[in-house]
Every structure is written in structure tokens, then in C-alpha cells.
Amino acid sequence: MEAENITIGKLAQLAEVGVETIRFYERKGLIKQPAKRRGFRYYPPEFITRIKFIKRSQELGFTLKESQELLELRVRSQAKCEDVLVKTEAKIQEIDAKI
């Protein structure tokens, strides 16, 4: 599937979310809204994985801000697996305390 073929509706379908979820993530800065081309916004295919990651992290108890921090660690070249592990272990302790 070519990047220019993924409209917001198709992205929502492939990521298993609603269109409004994608718009919400755009407003929150979790995903970048692409510029319009030929009257439509075309999303890159890697957004499917990104949106699924955000939804899954929410299911696990991470806030949107925490999900964004995890995504930013993935992008930074100097970030280490340990950075993600530290954040994940802290979240596990927080959840355990709530239980």
C-alpha cells in the first residue's frame, strides 16, 4: 500500500480506531497531520503502527503523555532500551500500587 493512498478513513480502519481518534491524536501532537494534496490528507503507512502502539499503551494503563514519551524515546538515536524499561517498570509499580 502506497503512502499516498492512505486517507484518514482508511488509516482509521487499518489502525482499528475511529476517525475522531486520529483527529484527537493530531490535536494532542501524538501524530502529525499531513498537508493536503489534491483535496485530501494522505497519511504514511507507519502511522498505523504508531496509532496501534498508542491504543495498546493506553490499554496497559499509560497516559497519552506517557505514550508520547515512549514514542519519543524510540525516535531519539541516543535512547537506550534501558530508558524504555525504566519508564515501563515505573508504570508497573504505579499500577501495582493502585491494585
Q: What is the block-wise mean pLDDT of the chain (99 residues), using blocks of 10 residues?
A: 74 96 95 89 93 92 88 66 74 77
pLDDT score of 27:
95
- Residue 39 buriedness (CB in 10 A; 0-12 / 13-18 / 19+): exposed
User: Is the distance from CB of 34 to CB of 42 less than 8 angstroms?
Assistant: yes
Task: State the Cα–Cα distance between residues 4 and 90, nearest whole angstrom.
Answer: 39
Task: State the Cα–Cα distance between residues 66 and 15, nearest whole angstrom.
Answer: 20
Question: Shortest CA distance to 47 belongs to which of 13, 84, 73, 88?
Answer: 13
Q: Cell 496501534: give the residue.
A: 52
pLDDT score of 18:
96
pLDDT score of 77:
56
* Confidence (pTM): 0.75
Question: Shortest CA distance to 53 belongs to which of 41, 69, 76?
Answer: 69
Domains of the chain: 3-98 (1.10.1660.10)
